[in-house]
Structure 1
Amino acid sequence: MIQRKIETDAVASSKGKELFELLGSSMQGLTEAEVERRLDYFGPNEIQQTKKRSQLRIFAKNFVSLMALLLWVSGAIALFAGMPELGIAIWLVNIINGLFSFWQEYAAQKATNSLKKMLPTYTTVIRNNNSQQIDAKKLVPGDIFLVQAGNSISADARILSSEALEIDESALTGESETVSKSKNYLKTEGQFGQNNIIYAGTTVARGTATVIAFHTGMATEFGKITNLTQKQGKSKSPLQVELNRLTKQISVIAIIIGLIFFLAAVFFVHYPWNKSFVFALGMIVAFIPEGLLPTVTLSLAQGVQRMSKKHALVKELSSVETLGETSVIASDKTGTLTQNQMTINHLWLLDDNFKVTGEGYSNNGQIQKEKQKVDIEKHPDLKLLLTISALNNDSKLEKTVDEKTKVIGTPTEAAHIIVAEKAGIEIERLVEEQPRLKELPFDSNRKLMTTIHSVNGKKIAYVKGALSSIMQRANKIRVNGEVHVLNNEDRKLIEAANKHYASMGLRSLALAYHELTEHEVQMNDQTVIENNLVFIGLTVMADPPRPEVYAAIKKCHDAKIRVIMVTGDSALTAKSVALKIGMVSEKVRVITGEELEKMDDQTLRDEIKQEVIFARVAPEHKYRIVKACQANGDIVASTGDGVNDAPALKQADIGIAMGVTGTDVAKDAADMILTDDNFASIVAAVEEGRTVYSNIQKFLLYILNSNVPEAIPSVLFLFSRGMIPLPLTVMQILTVDLGTDMLPALGLGAEKSEPGVMEQPPRARDSHLLSHSVIWKAFAWYGAGAALISTFAYFFVNYLHGYTISNLAEHGAVYVQATTMTLAAIVFCQVAAAINCRTKKTSVLTIGFFSNRHIIWGIVSEIILLALLIYVPVLQGLFNTISIGFVEWIFLVSIPIPLVLIEETRKYFVRRKVKKEENVNI
């Protein structure tokens, strides 16, 4: 049996017999008996979930938050005090909210699981000298298996033989460019620098290979990073922290007020102890916002639903609000800011150059000269350049079921197929006319790829590759259909053109050809075939930015959110793309991975405060960048798709994985998954997050303002030493909190983004839900007004029946009608509050008075509920209410009108003041 731990370098550097001895295998493969022994020893080839929580624990966490515990205790006290209806009502609120929260997160996790792209199900292996397909879970160290273009790789393996093999290692390294691999041992820089090793979780972009597995399952590099990520804890979200803080604040306030009222009732009013306790309990429960949890949950759930429509899948409800606080987005470039579709945008010949329109893998563009479409038949050199592009090519483009383009091969070759199609070349016909005879595959030493074709009875080698490699082998150049000697002046012009495109962050490939003699064909010598080349021109390409990213970046800047590009691409390309999309200015500081390695943490923290781009960095560097931003006090959203991105995704306040290209490990570590891999979807999600926080604060304002009119009547009772009978009973107070207030409050949670929400900076870390502004509005503005009106309503009924301030009704129908009127007045004040709380400074008329149907139906429902309490005999007895007359209803219906008009006037002056300040700043 082989060792459990085998060093990758030892496998990479072993030769021939030594390698098979190290892995206990042979070219004939393993026997079935040996496979069974190794499966028992090493375990199945799969990624194990080491920290999977039980569904029972996930379910239970929704019922033990600080606010939930407070409600459990409140319900218990109500039961103990002989008010079972109250206690049961409070507990039902808690139970319904917990079930709703669990269901939302369960649904989100279910959707996440459906997105996961696991390791391949089947692998072709050699066992007992026979080829067979097996479940990839049964692959073991020492197994020989085959890979080809399009395959995901099932295990860490050493290459035994290969043909034109190129691997997409972006899942591990973050590099968008494919890596050429062969059986020859060559150690380059980086953690995954062995040229003859392929890794689990990466994919074959091109070619074929026979390989031997040496690490499977959790022993692979893929598995090691998964294990590291699963051990990493996740701290509470800012919203969870803030809700706990708010709960403590409200609990302390409520208990202090309840204690004061209890002592005052006993020693000042001389109320019996038991009645004083019930009275104080009413005050405590009145100040506890029982609807906070369901409203927060509903706001978050609605935010989740809105985000899902904008291609952002949120796994946990609390993550929604955290997005709204985001002050830094650490974003990948390829596929997130750009389309991840390499596109040729210029074609350069010595005597001319052309622009190519149309971006991405679509052939609906064209080749232009001065905005006019080019007829390639009139440009023989251009036609030859495009012919080489189409024929010196091993990639294919296929349409998927949903009409999207799937690349079989490399993005660079796909771009060369598309540019030929844009010129009107029929690829299939061209392949028939100039059949391929042979291929000299690309390798990282030559940096060339050559295909030999039969063209009108001649044998022609078409060559493409790095300009430096072509120029070393070229001695002629074709200009205007004629071949000339390539002189120094020509070389300078070619190099200058290449340098010019490079300065723009564009990548060039050189194309050439060699018309072979019969002798050269018979020699079949690679050096001869790729020598004496005729240079044709350059194809110039880039991965174009997503069309939506320009507006998304501007939105981030308006919202005072810094976007930091973190990419494995070159500094030149990174800066060019960042400048093009408006992310940075020319003064931007570009830090490479090599520079980052030499920086201490404090230097990195200082550097990251300025305009900065990180280029040529490994994904593991992203973890350090995220931590540095957090150390500076930022709330960080970080994107990623690879296995090595997972620690950074877990560390970030919001980890955002790519749904299309992302690995399973990245999706597990993330809080949110983009189903379209689009940066613009992140910005849309941030806007939703800000809206959710704003709506929670609006709800808090709405729910707290009713506490004042609930408390003031009781204060009058105390200060009058009982001469003013209680204008509200405890059950009536709770009717407002748990009944009439709830539906409009829930409607506030569904309010859409207020205009200008993305023109404000992220909320400060030291700002809180219960801010000075909320306290002032709730108690001194909305609350005080409602208290005056409801108290007036109490005295108004007494006055209508001939009672005066010195002689108020203490019992009987008039007293019950006065308390009923007080309750009804509070409800109608809350109708106005529901409308006023919809916006902070924007006019309700601007956003549309009836635009939030949840609010409208909530108001209608609370009025219907009030009417039921007043006119249904059973409810009259339970809530101490009685029927009221027409005059009283006229009074009640009139209440919201002045309150809304007064608030609209206040908002007008607030907007005017803000506009004046903005003009001064300009």
Structure 2
Amino acid sequence: LRRHALIRKLPAVETLGSVTTICSDKTGTLTQNKMVVQRVDTLNTSIQVTGNGYEPVGEFLLDNQAITTEQYPQLEPLLLACALCNDAILQYEQGEWKILGDPTEGALIALAGKGGVDKEPLNQKYSRVDEIPFSSERKRMSVICQWDSSPDNSQPANLPAQLPYSNSKGEQPLPFGHATGTTENPQLTGYMMLTKGSPELVLEHCTSSVHNDDSAGGTLGCQPLTEEQRQQILEQNNQMAGAGLRVLGFAYKSLDSLSAPEADHESLEQGLVWLGLVGMLDAPRPEVREAVQLCRNAGIRPIMITGDHKLTARAIAQDLGIANQSDQVLTGQELQKLSQLDLEEQVDQVSIYARVAPEHKLRIVQALQGRGKFVAMTGDGVNDAPALKQADIGIAMGITGTDVSKEASDMVLLDDNFATIVAATEEGRTVYDNIRRFIRYILGSNIGEVLTIAAAPIMGLPDVPLTPLQILWMNLVTDGLPALALAVEPAEPDVMKRSPFSPRESIFARGLGSYMVRIGIVFAIFNITLMAIAYGYFPHWKTMVFTTLCIAQMGHALAVRSNKRITLELNPFSNPYLLLAVTVTTLLQLLLVYVPFLQDFFGTEPLTMMEFAVCLGFSTSLFVWVELEKLFIRWFSKGKVSG
């Protein structure tokens, strides 16, 4: 929780350390999910928009000159569509504008407000009577509104009226009149459909476009869309997407009635009138660039998966360092045509997936796993659940995620931030390293203890050096306290500078098994040598063996903090729990030796200064041995590299 990651399944912590590929959504995870409209394009005009955040205050600039919607009436129906085809609510709270709903729709309300179009009174004037909701398959949303022609519903200033007319060219009437049109007794009837969504898909359903008819007194009319104009619109879309903007297309249609059944909603979205494009910037999270670089240093490959245009996806991916200009982008339509085998052959070369649907995520995960990758996948929707379940690590969004996606996940991001995934991966690696550190300490020491006790009768000694109570003391205190403290050892500096280890490897892999046996034998040799000397020269030989075993383990605990760095190179206070455990355990051991009632209870005898000095000498031998091993391995590795 300290790093904003909630682990729902405990094994996922160590599994995170083995992740080789992170498939991340773009919006809200790689980006801030704070949309600001920067550009509006009608058929023949490209207009820049100023302003900050969701504040409905800003200017429309054409060639760096401020303009009004009265000067460019094509803007009016587009702004009306932005406000009406919208489910978000803009609120002013505690001195700032906040959005209740989807950030993309919030940016559209702010845009409409900059043009003098207020959503709340507009909703009363144009009441919504039906809706065709957005879906990842359709990639568009439509609403059907009816004009409220009651006498009390007067036309507000600077808002387009729905005035039927015919112009001098006999073109199709447009349900948006100029604000200066006649409004004394409009007698407005009928409905209008407003559509927004993926520009390419909305454009496919359009047959005509809005234009300003100067011959009819500057009123708006409709003209058929030519193939040249379609290509022009697509080029405008590509320009905005290439600049990293999320682009939406807008269209409308007049309806005489609502006779079409609900099942035939699709047919209503035919023969639309093109209104224009709106481009909004969703800035990348500043911390993600560093997180992506950390991923690459750690041998983890980041992949972007988004429903946005491929040029938008490429621009953001390049900005964040996820991909280069030459990297391939695979769209959902292209992916749909590939067989699973063909997809597996391409996944190693593709770092950006654009215009994808949730079911494509499942195929991407399966293809990566088919190539032997260990995959983490993010998701927030109900339809993302299969992909989250299939992934080795399913990651749900804590803020925008649905309950279904959270239930299917192994981990929940409380801040929906890609950098949190990388931080959790670092924690996973650290936890796995600490588990191995714990095992290295416990089993290495215990093997030495067992061999020492077993050697006593073989050596012909009259008694074993330890009583059952002393063995219990070592297991609970001298083994337990430092081992628990090692479990919270901070990450080593190079933990995110190495490739991930295979999740299928044994816990004893990479030399851990041989280390335990080797150190156990070395530990036993030191203690057996002490036992032989103490039995022949000192009266309190049993207590000497007991004390040496306990104190030697304290040195071993300090030595196993790092696999490569010697103890003098480590900050002794970076793990205060281990420092406390070693200090307390050593003091408790001394109390057992020198406090009379504890002597009686544990069967110990007070050691002389000479006996205690001998114990300390043999106790430090194990610590010195482990440190020398590190120096030897470092020297050998350097020689191997230089050779």
Structures share fold, TM-score greater than 0.5: yes
Q: In the aligned structure 1, how far is the partner of 2:123 from the partner of 2:306?
A: 40
Q: Contact conserved, 1:377 with 1:383, CA < 8 A, in 2? A: no
Aligned to 1:834: 557
| CA displacement 1:447-495 (0-9 Å, x = unmatched) | 99999954379955589966958993333399xxx99999999998776
Instruction: Report the AA paired with residue 558 of structure 1.
Output: N
Aligned to 1:417: 109
Instruction: Report the AA paired with residue 417 of structure 1.
Output: I
Q: Contact conserved, 1:705 with 1:778, CA < 8 A, in 2? A: yes
Q: In the aligned structure 2, how far is the partner of 1:763 from the partner of 1:378?
A: 61
Count of aligned residue pairs for this structure pair: 567
* Structure 1 residue 605, shift from structure 2 partner: 3.0
Aligned to 1:882: 605
The residue matched to 2:278 in structure 1 has which SS?
strand
Aligned to 2:342: 603
The farther-off stretch of 482-491 and 577-586 is: 482-491
Q: In the aligned structure 2, how far is the partner of 1:896 from the partner of 1:402?
A: 67
Aligned to 1:630: 369
| CA displacement 1:805-853 (0-9 Å, x = unmatched) | xxxxxxxxx2xx2121112112222111111111222354555211212
Going from structure 1 to structure 2, the CA distance change for 1:592 and 1:749 (only over 3 Å counts) comes to same
Aligned to 1:345: 38
**Counterpart check, 1:561 vs 2:295:** no
Aligned to 1:455: 157
Aligned to 1:786: 523
Aligned to 2:18: 325
Q: 1:820 aligns with which of 543, 560, 572?
A: 543
Q: 1:866 aligns with which of 589, 592, 595?
A: 589
| CA displacement 1:313-339 (0-9 Å, x = unmatched) | 112322211111222223333333334
Q: Contact conserved, 1:820 with 1:881, CA < 8 A, in 2? A: yes
Q: In the aligned structure 2, how far is the partner of 1:742 from the partner of 1:583?
A: 44
Q: Contact conserved, 1:391 with 1:431, CA < 8 A, in 2? A: no
Aligned to 1:393: 83
Q: In the aligned structure 1, how far is the partner of 2:12 from the partner of 2:385?
A: 17
Q: 2:280 aligns with which of 541, 561, 564?
A: 541
Q: In the aligned structure 2, how far is the partner of 1:447 from the partner of 1:427?
A: 18
Aligned to 1:707: 446
Q: In the aligned structure 2, how far is the partner of 1:848 from the partner of 1:375?
A: 61
Q: 2:573 aligns with which of 850, 854, 865?
A: 850
Q: 2:384 aligns with which of 645, 650, 653?
A: 645
Q: Contact conserved, 1:751 with 1:838, CA < 8 A, in 2? A: yes
Q: Contact conserved, 1:450 with 1:461, CA < 8 A, in 2? A: no
What RMSD, in angstroms, separates the aligned Cα atoms of the two structures?
Answer: 4.9
Q: Which aligned pairs between 1:403-802 and structure 2 lie closer than 5 A? A: 405-408=98-101, 411-419=103-111, 438=126, 454-455=156-157, 460-461=177-178, 472-476=208-212, 496-504=235-243, 506-508=245-247, 539-714=278-453, 716-717=455-456, 719-720=458-459, 722=460, 726-729=464-467, 731-780=469-518, 782-798=519-535, 800-801=537-538
Q: In the aligned structure 2, how far is the partner of 1:490 from the partner of 1:610?
A: 35
The residue matched to 2:452 in structure 1 has which SS?
helix
Q: In the aligned structure 2, how far is the partner of 1:585 from the partner of 1:818?
A: 70
* Structure 1 residue 873, shift from structure 2 partner: 5.1
Instruction: Report the AA paired with residue 345 of structure 2.
Output: D
Q: In the aligned structure 2, how far is the partner of 1:511 from the partner of 1:840?
A: 61
Going from structure 1 to structure 2, the CA distance change for 1:477 and 1:417 (only over 3 Å counts) comes to farther
Q: In the aligned structure 2, how far is the partner of 1:894 from the partner of 1:456?
A: 92
| CA displacement 1:414-456 (0-9 Å, x = unmatched) | 21333577x7x8877x999x99855799987999999995437
Q: In the aligned structure 2, how far is the partner of 1:909 from the partner of 1:859?
A: 26
Q: Which aligned pairs between 1:8-23 and structure 2 lie closer than 5 A? A: none
Q: In the aligned structure 2, how far is the partner of 1:439 from the partner of 1:647?
A: 38
* Structure 1 residue 724, shift from structure 2 partner: 7.7
* Structure 1 residue 393, shift from structure 2 partner: 1.2
The residue matched to 2:573 in structure 1 has which SS?
coil
Q: In the aligned structure 1, how far is the partner of 2:536 from the partner of 2:60?
A: 88
Going from structure 1 to structure 2, the CA distance change for 1:840 and 1:622 (only over 3 Å counts) comes to same
Going from structure 1 to structure 2, the CA distance change for 1:538 and 1:392 (only over 3 Å counts) comes to closer
Greater per-residue helix proportion: 1
Q: In the aligned structure 1, how far is the partner of 2:141 from the partner of 2:510?
A: 67
| CA displacement 1:682-706 (0-9 Å, x = unmatched) | 2211111111110010111111221
| CA displacement 1:479-518 (0-9 Å, x = unmatched) | xxx99999999998776433322444634457999xxxxx
Q: Which runs of 5+ in 1 are unaligned?
A: 1-307, 514-530, 802-813
The residue matched to 1:329 in structure 2 has which SS?
strand
The farther-off stretch of 823-832 and 880-889 is: 880-889
Aligned to 1:311: 4
Aligned to 2:255: none
Q: Which aligned pairs between 1:228-307 and structure 2 lie closer than 5 A? A: none
| CA displacement 1:759-815 (0-9 Å, x = unmatched) | 1111124532213522343343x44553344334434544554xxxxxxxxxxxx2x
Going from structure 1 to structure 2, the CA distance change for 1:594 and 1:376 (only over 3 Å counts) comes to closer
| CA displacement 1:623-667 (0-9 Å, x = unmatched) | 343333334333322222222322332333222222222222222
Instruction: Output the TM-score relative to the length of structure 2.
Output: 0.72
Instruction: Report the AA paired with residue 473 of structure 1.
Output: S
Going from structure 1 to structure 2, the CA distance change for 1:437 and 1:420 (only over 3 Å counts) comes to closer
Q: Contact conserved, 2:246 with 2:308, CA < 8 A, in 1? A: no
Q: Contact conserved, 2:444 with 2:520, CA < 8 A, in 1? A: yes
Going from structure 1 to structure 2, the CA distance change for 1:448 and 1:680 (only over 3 Å counts) comes to farther
Going from structure 1 to structure 2, the CA distance change for 1:827 and 1:611 (only over 3 Å counts) comes to farther
Going from structure 1 to structure 2, the CA distance change for 1:758 and 1:871 (only over 3 Å counts) comes to same
* Structure 1 residue 859, shift from structure 2 partner: 0.9
The residue matched to 2:17 in structure 1 has which SS?
helix
Q: Which runs of 5+ in 2 are unaligned?
A: 133-139, 148-153, 162-176, 180-193, 253-270
Q: In the aligned structure 2, how far is the partner of 1:899 from the partner of 1:638?
A: 45
Q: In the aligned structure 1, how far is the partner of 2:635 from the partner of 2:49?
A: 50
Q: Contact conserved, 1:604 with 1:628, CA < 8 A, in 2? A: yes
Q: In the aligned structure 2, how far is the partner of 1:353 from the partner of 1:567?
A: 27
Q: In the aligned structure 1, how far is the partner of 2:54 from the partner of 2:104?
A: 14
Sequence identity (%): 35
Q: Contact conserved, 1:505 with 1:576, CA < 8 A, in 2? A: yes
The residue matched to 1:541 in structure 2 has which SS?
strand
Q: Which aligned pairs between 1:901-920 and structure 2 lie closer than 5 A? A: 903-904=626-627, 907=630, 910=633
Instruction: Report the AA paired with residue 38 of structure 2.
Output: N
| CA displacement 1:739-766 (0-9 Å, x = unmatched) | 3110000000011211111111111245
| CA displacement 1:324-380 (0-9 Å, x = unmatched) | 12222233333333344443233568787647575xx5549977999x9x8847999
Select the structure with the greater relative contact order (CA < 8 A; seq sep ≥ 6).
Answer: 2
Going from structure 1 to structure 2, the CA distance change for 1:495 and 1:448 (only over 3 Å counts) comes to farther
Q: In the aligned structure 2, how far is the partner of 1:393 from the partner of 1:327?
A: 44
Q: In the aligned structure 2, how far is the partner of 1:448 from the partner of 1:919?
A: 73
Q: Contact conserved, 1:341 with 1:544, CA < 8 A, in 2? A: yes
Q: Which aligned pairs between 1:104-253 and structure 2 lie closer than 5 A? A: none
Q: Contact conserved, 1:314 with 1:320, CA < 8 A, in 2? A: yes
